[in-house]
């Protein structure tokens, strides 16, 4: 027997480019190494000879017999077949070619290459998936798939992280290996009662066996700025506007503006007068060059038994406005161990801290609304006031906004979150075709919400004579037991059978503690020694027990058929209504495998798919015990005898029990086509679907005379339909020095409410006295898309008295007022003339990603857009609605007067007797936009040069500059056309002065050691 000898060599691809990360193993053993960044390897071979096996995903496996210590040159060939990616589906994975449902995937590489903080990185990446920004840093985006299927409940998809159904908290984008989105019901129904809004499966990185430990640093730092600002009145213009507005209505100059007051110093000790003050409240409120940064350090590697991936992450985003910021810090350890041929064991562990500093909309007026409304003649600060700020005196100034800089700085609202997630699993491989997996996972999260208002008084609208402290602590513990048995076998080379059976239970407990109190000093910021103490503690539990089965069969990889069923039992429903079954079935035909296609060389793949399935939305959105009406015990008090010491406790209830409550169920049909041309250089995936949701869980409004303040009672009534079309096109040039990749997404969805609790039922939302007088801004009725905008139609401006008297009766109208359309032709303009004036739902959405590399340079441009949606620009009511005196946009100076008739801004008249501000088409704007969402240029330092310069320490170094939201093309007049919703209600697409997205410029580096 020959002594051990050493073999070294270099592995390249067909273009002679070095291939790093190729696994080189000695056949029949567990010994092996991986190639380094230059494609080099060195391995010690025992005995006379050995067969070396070279493996790399995307390449054909190669075997080379070695008998002596020669220098090997191995060229690996691309494997178009194995390039068929593997797709993670519920409780297993499948080759892309065999998938029969609508499943879209994004690689972690695509996501991680972009300097974007969280899951919003998915925006524009998946046809049919909509991501809408919804506020300041740390506020989650609104994510919906294939339209809206529920009236009362959110559109959040189900997230499965490494097999664990839960939340995305703690998952850093840089740790993600792949994201697979189960879009249609035939795929998602395996998650049964939670599958309606689609399932997003996230797989985190694992490390490779037999590879050296690799250290990766991924880091960027950027600055953020406001993209756009409003044109607001300055002090001189404010005075002009005040007279136009109040003077016309015969209202005297507010005391402050009278010369004897206006020429007084802004505060005792200041030499500046109100008349000399000209505060730009936007400059005072918004911040310039707010920093954003993210840093990730990851280690990965492994030997024959164990592989691991571990990382530490830090993300910090400061707001582009005062008093807003968020950060998270996370660590992750993923490892698995092949203990024997039969048994392997693995675990994922993740701990995260989150912190958010957020703003609260006082009295529903957003900070930006107060920025618009603050009088320019008032200073931001007044050192004589407790707290140091200055506010208007509502009566003296004739106007009552609140100082937005004061609210942002004095009042401290924070969320401190901590989550810990652990997952352990064992796999038993009884045979190559039979596999058992057992998972036990724990997810624990706690959030401390702390609001603190100090003692302060700005001499006007805002003050607090005592410090107010509110401490709320919520925690949740979820446990998952999942037992999965998988069968996968091919019989006679033709019949492939795949089957999974699962038994799973997920239990959850949530605790909530609240403590509030007051302090008569600003020194003590806790409840120690506080007065007016109040405390509460509640908890709730729920349990979901499921049985799942799926059977797939394909014949020669040509004809595919799959069926699944899940039976869910959920504790939250009444006895007798706790269980429901969710079936699904799908078919696929790999046309390219047919003999008649063999001659058609240009078609590299072609598959037709069809599927049907039934899904639900998570019943726990209703709470843990929704079917019984609770007593609100001791919920309020009444001060009999005028005494706070001996308050009379009050208990009541407000609503009806409904023991028949059950899931919303959605039936979905999907037909799809996958096409690849010219060795899959050109790819296309197209889907058509229809989703119909029955048993819509509606809060059926009760008449106020029931005594529930109109609050509804939950019932399963109504139905809704979404129909749509999605297409993804790609062109991939993968050979040569200049490589590029173009991917385009297009999706279209049409939503319609089919039935509600009654034929004439109307579910209104969004009304707010400040934004149009209080009439609702949206209405959900049968035959229209959900929450369509609702209001009058503007028919021009009355130019003279004759026109007023010749038009349908419009109470309060005078020349210069808006003429509304008499929609019902009854000769009177009133609420009965309101109609549907647009939808926030786009006609279609689209995106285009272009990434290219040339030698050591690479570049990405990512366009993302929506088309055909409307925005209810409620903030423009604040800017130019002129109901009563506040600061406003400069447009109010162009108000109609007998000498300024060529305008679309009605007359300025305090009190707005004609209701010009009413919800109407006046405030509806196009929400279409096209954005250069991301743009990036990077440079990779040459590996050989790097290694030489760093004594082989550094294998890869890339630096890049990037920008997010660099350019936006839109006609929308507000700050940002991406508009979310208020408190998750039916107010999507209404701009109440939403925190706008910043434009970001970043500088980053990625290095591998």
| Span 230-289, contacts to another protein by CB under 8 A | 245-246, 249, 251-252, 254-255, 258, 260-261
Task: Convert 125-161 to b/e letters by CB count within 10 Å (16 or more is b).
Answer: bbbbbbbbbbbbbbebbbbbbbbbbbbbbbbbbbbbb
Q: Which of the residues 643 through 702 are near another protein (CB under 8 A)?
A: 643-644, 647-654, 656-657, 700-702
DSSP letters, 828-866, are B-SGGG-EE---SS-SEEEEEEEEEEETTEEEEEEEEEE
* Token reading at 75: 């060229």
| Least Cβ distance, residue 884 to another protein (angstroms) | 5
Of 599 and 642, nearer to another protein (C-beta) is: 642
List of residues 6+ apart from 431 with CB closer than 8 A: none
Whether the Cβ atoms of residue 141 and residue 980 lie closer than 8 Å to each other:
yes
- Per-residue contact track with another protein, 437 to 456, x per CB under 8 A? -x------------------
Binding residues among 453-482 for another protein as defined by CB under 8 A: 457, 459-466, 468, 481
How far does Cα 457 stand from its chain's mean position?
A: 38
Cβ of residue 334: shortest distance to another protein, in angstroms?
23
Say whether residue 898 binds another protein (CB under 8 A).
Answer: no
For another protein, the closer CB: 439 or 606: 439
The pair of structure tokens assigned to 765 is: 């939302």
Residue 88 vs 411, nearer CB to another protein: 411
Q: Smaller CB distance to another protein: residue 428 or 597?
A: 428
Minimum separation from the CB atom of position 812 to another protein (A): 8
In whole angstroms, give the CA distance from residue 406 to residue 391: 8
CA angle 311, 315, 320 (to 5 degrees): 170
- Looking at the Cβ atoms of 167 and 435, the one nearer to another protein is 435
Rounded least distance, CB 775 to another protein, Å? 6
Length of the chain in terms of residues written: 1009
Q: Which residue, among 979, 984, 999, 864, has the nearest Cα to 924 in the 3D structure?
A: 979
Interface of this chain with another protein, residues 544 to 573, rule: CB under 8 A: 545, 569-572
Residue 523 Cβ, how far from another protein at the closest point, in Å? 18
Least distance between another protein and beta carbon 623 (Å)? 9
Return the number of the residue (458 or 687) whose C-beta is nearest another protein.
Answer: 458
Of 895, 887, 894, 786, residue with least CA distance to 836: 786
Question: Is 628 near another protein (CB under 8 A)?
Answer: yes
Region near another protein per CB under 8 A, out of 271-279, 535-543, 818-826, 859-867: 535-543
Q: Which is nearer to another protein, 4 or 533 (CB)?
A: 533
Binding of another protein by 788 (CB under 8 A):
no
| CB of 413 vs another protein, minimal distance in Å | 18
Buried b (16+ CB within 10 A) or exposed e, 675-698: bbbebbebbbbbbbbebbbbbbbb
- Contact with another protein (CB under 8 A) among 29, 263, 288, 811: 811
Alpha carbon distance 767, 817 (integer Å): 22
Contact assessment for residue 29 and residue 10, using Cβ atoms and an 8 Å cutoff: no
Among 237, 279, 910, 928, binds another protein (CB under 8 A): 910
CB of 463 to another protein, least distance (A): 6
CA distance 339 to 335: 13
398-417 binders of another protein (CB under 8 A): 398, 400
What character string, x for contact with another protein (CB under 8 A) and - otherwise, covers 913-942?
A: --x---------------------------
Binders in 841-860 for another protein, by CB under 8 A = none
Whether residue 841 contacts residue 897, with contact meaning beta carbons closer than 8 Å, is answered with no
Largest CA distance in the chain: 114
Nearest to 714 by CA among 635, 614, 631, 623: 623
Min CB(274)–another protein separation in Å = 14
Residue 456, strand partner residues: 464
The whole-angstrom separation of Cα 667 and Cα 853 is 44
Q: How far is the CB of 424 from another protein (least distance, A)?
A: 12
Span between the terminal Cα atoms of the chain, in Å = 39
Minimum Å gap between C-beta 896 and another protein is: 18
Answer yes or no whether residue 809 interacts with another protein by CB under 8 A: no
Residues with Cβ within 8 Å of 837's Cβ and at least 6 positions away in sequence, in order, are: 788, 789, 790, 791, 793, 870, 920, 921, 924
Looking at 291-299, 391-399, 558-566, 1001-1009, which segment touches another protein (CB under 8 A)?
Answer: 391-399
User: Closest distance between another protein and the C-beta of residue 238, in Å?
Assistant: 15
Q: Exposed, middle or buried by CB within 10 Å (0-12, 13-18, 19+), for 1?
A: exposed
Question: Which residue, 149 or 461, is less far from another protein as judged by CB?
Answer: 461
Answer for the pair 841, 155: CB distance below 8 angstroms, yes or no: no
Q: Which is nearer to another protein, 198 or 391 (CB)?
A: 391
Point out which span in 113-121, 214-222, 739-747, 882-890 binds another protein (CB under 8 A): 882-890
Q: Print the binding letters for residues 32-71 with another protein: x by CB under 8 A, - otherwise.
A: ----------------------------------------
Least gap, CB of 619 to another protein (angstroms): 11
Q: Which is nearer to another protein, 459 or 676 (CB)?
A: 459
Residue 624, burial from CB neighbour count under 10 angstroms (0-12, 13-18, 19+): middle
In the list 51, 524, 600, 636, the residue contacting another protein (rule: CB under 8 A) is 636
* 362-381 positions binding another protein, by CB under 8 A: 363
Q: Which of residues 727-766 bind another protein (CB under 8 A)?
A: 758, 760, 762
- Quote the least distance from Cβ 401 to another protein, whole Å: 13
Strand partners, 12: 18, 75
Among 68, 633, 800, 900, binds another protein (CB under 8 A): 633
Q: How far is the CB of 304 from another protein (least distance, A)?
A: 20
Of 618, 678, 820, 814, the residue nearest 188 (C-alpha) = 618
Binding to another protein by residue 433, rule CB under 8 A? no
Token output for 289? 């060059």
Report if residue 436 touches another protein, rule: CB under 8 A.
Answer: yes
Structure-block tokens of residue 869: 């949606």
Alpha helices (H) along 884-1004: 943-949
Q: Could you write out the DSSP letters of every residue in 585-617? A: EEEEEEGGGSGGGTT-TTEEEEEEEEEEEEEE-
Site for another protein in 321-360 (CB under 8 A): 342-343
Write the DSSP symbol of residue 141: P
The tokens describing 780, both together, are 């959900």
Q: By CB under 8 A, how many residues form the interface with another protein?
A: 115
Segment contacting another protein (CB under 8 A): 300-308, 631-639, 678-686, 986-994? 631-639
Nearer to another protein, 281 or 573 (CB): 573
Q: Which of residues 151-180 bind another protein (CB under 8 A)?
A: none
């Amino acid at each position: 027997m020959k002594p051990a000898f050493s073999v070294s060599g270099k592995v390249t691809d067909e273009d002679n480019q070095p291939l790093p990360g190729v696994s080189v193993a000695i056949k029949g053993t567990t010994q092996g190494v991986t190639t380094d960044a230059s494609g080099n390897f060195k391995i010690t071979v025992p005995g006379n000879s050995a067969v070396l096996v070279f493996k790399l995903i995307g390449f054909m496996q190669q075997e080379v017999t070695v008998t002596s210590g020669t220098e090997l040159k191995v060229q690996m060939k691309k494997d178009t077949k194995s390039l068929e990616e593997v797709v993670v589906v519920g409780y297993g994975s499948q080759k892309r070619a065999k998938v029969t449902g609508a499943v879209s995937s994004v690689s972690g590489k695509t996501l991680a290459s972009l300097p974007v903080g969280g899951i919003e990185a998915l925006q524009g990446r998946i046809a049919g998936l909509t991501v809408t920004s919804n506020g300041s840093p740390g506020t989650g985006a609104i994510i919906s798939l294939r339209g809206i299927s529920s009236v009362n409940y959110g559109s959040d998809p189900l997230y499965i992280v490494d097999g664990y159904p839960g939340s995305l908290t703690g998952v850093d984008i840089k740790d993600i290996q792949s994201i697979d989105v189960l879009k249609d019901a035939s795929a998602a129904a395996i998650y049964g009662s939670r599958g309606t809004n689609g399932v997003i499966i996230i797989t985190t990185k694992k490390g490779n066996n037999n590879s050296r430990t690799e250290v990766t640093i991924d880091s960027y730092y950027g600055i953020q700025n406001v993209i756009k600002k409003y044109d607001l009145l300055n002090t001189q213009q404010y005075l002009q506007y005040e007279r136009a507005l109040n003077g016309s209505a015969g209202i005297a100059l507010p005391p402050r503006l009278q010369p004897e007051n206006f020429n007084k110093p802004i505060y005792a000790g200041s030499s500046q007068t109100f008349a000399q003050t000209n505060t730009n409240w936007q400059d005072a409120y918004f911040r310039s060059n707010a920093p954003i940064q993210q840093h990730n350090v990851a280690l990965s590697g492994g030997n024959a038994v164990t592989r691991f991936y571990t990382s530490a992450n830090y993300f910090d985003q400061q707001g582009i406005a005062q008093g807003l910021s968020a950060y998270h810090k996370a660590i992750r350890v993923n490892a698995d161990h092949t203990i024997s041929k039969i048994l392997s064991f693995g675990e994922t562990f993740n701990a995260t801290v989150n912190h958010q500093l957020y703003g609260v909309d006082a009295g529903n007026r957003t900070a930006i609304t107060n920025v618009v409304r603050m009088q320019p003649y008032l200073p931001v600060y007044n050192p004589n006031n407790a707290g140091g700020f200055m506010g208007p005196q509502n009566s003296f100034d004739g106007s009552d906004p609140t100082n937005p800089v004061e609210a942002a700085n004095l009042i401290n609202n924070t969320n401190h979150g901590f989550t810990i997630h652990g997952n352990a699993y064992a796999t038993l491989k009884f045979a190559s075709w039979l596999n058992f997996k057992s998972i036990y996972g724990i997810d624990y999260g706690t959030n401390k919400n702390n609001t603190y208002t100090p003692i302060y008084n700005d001499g006007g609208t805002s003050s607090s004579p005592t410090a107010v402290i509110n401490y709320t602590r919520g925690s949740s513990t979820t446990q998952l037991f999942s037992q999965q048995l998988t069968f996968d076998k091919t019989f006679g080379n033709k019949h492939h059978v795949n089957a999974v059976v699962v038994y799973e239970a997920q239990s959850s407990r949530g605790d909530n503690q609240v403590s509030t109190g007051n302090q008569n000093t600003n020194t003590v910021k806790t409840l120690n020694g506080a007065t007016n103490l109040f405390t509460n503690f509640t908890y709730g539990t729920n349990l979901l027990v499921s049985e799942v089965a799926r059977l797939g069969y394909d014949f020669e990889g040509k004809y595919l058929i799959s069926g699944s069923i899940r039976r869910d039992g959920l504790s939250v429903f009444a006895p007798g209504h706790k269980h429901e079954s969710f079936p699904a079935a799908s078919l696929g035909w790999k046309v390219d495998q047919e003999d008649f296609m063999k001659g058609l060389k240009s078609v590299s793949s072609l598959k037709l798919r069809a599927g049907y399935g039934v899904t639900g939305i998570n019943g726990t959105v209703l709470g843990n015990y929704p079917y019984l009406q609770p007593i609100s015990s001791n919920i309020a008090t009444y001060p009999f005898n005028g005494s706070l010491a001996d308050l009379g406790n009050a208990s009541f209830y407000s609503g009806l029990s409904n023991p028949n409550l059950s899931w919303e169920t959605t039936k979905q049909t999907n037909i799809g086509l996958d096409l690849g041309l010219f060795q899959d250089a050109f790819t296309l995936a197209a889907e058509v679907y229809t989703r119909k949701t029955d048993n819509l869980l509606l809060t059926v409004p009760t008449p106020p005379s029931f005594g529930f303040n109109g609050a509804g009672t939950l019932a399963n009534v109504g139905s809704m339909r979404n129909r749509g079309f999605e297409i993804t096109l790609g062109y991939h040039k993968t050979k040569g020095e200049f490589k590029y990749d173009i991917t385009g997404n297009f999706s279209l969805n049409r939503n319609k409410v089919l039935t509600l609790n009654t034929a004439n039922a109307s579910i209104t939302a969004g009304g707010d006295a400040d934004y149009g007088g209080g009439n609702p801004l949206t209405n959900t009725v049968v035959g229209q898309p959900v929450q369509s905008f609702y209001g009058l139609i503007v028919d021009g401006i009355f130019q003279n008295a004759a026109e007023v008297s010749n038009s349908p009766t419009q109470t309060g109208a005078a020349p210069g007022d808006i003429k509304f359309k008499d929609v019902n032709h009854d000769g009177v303009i009133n609420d009965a003339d309101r109609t549907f004036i647009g939808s926030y739902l786009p006609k279609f959405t689209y995106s285009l990603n272009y990434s290219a590399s040339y030698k050591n340079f690479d570049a990405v441009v990512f366009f993302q857009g929506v088309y055909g949606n409307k925005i209810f620009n409620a903030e423009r009511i604040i800017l130019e609605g002129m109901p009563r005196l506040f600061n406003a946009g400069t447009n109010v100076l162009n108000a109609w007067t007998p000498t300024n008739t060529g305008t679309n801004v009605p007359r300025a008249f305090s009190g707005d007797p004609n209701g010009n501000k009413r919800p109407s088409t006046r405030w509806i704007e196009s929400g279409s936009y096209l954005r250069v969402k991301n743009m990036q240029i990077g440079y990779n330092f040459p590996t050989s040069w790097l290694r030489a310069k760093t004594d082989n320490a550094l294998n890869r170094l890339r630096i890049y500059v990037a920008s997010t939201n660099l350019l936006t093309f839109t006609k929308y007049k507000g700050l940002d056309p991406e508009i979310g919703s208020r408190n998750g209600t039916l107010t999507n697409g209404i701009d109440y002065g939403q925190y706008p997205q910043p434009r970001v410029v970043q500088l980053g580096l990625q290095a591998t050691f």
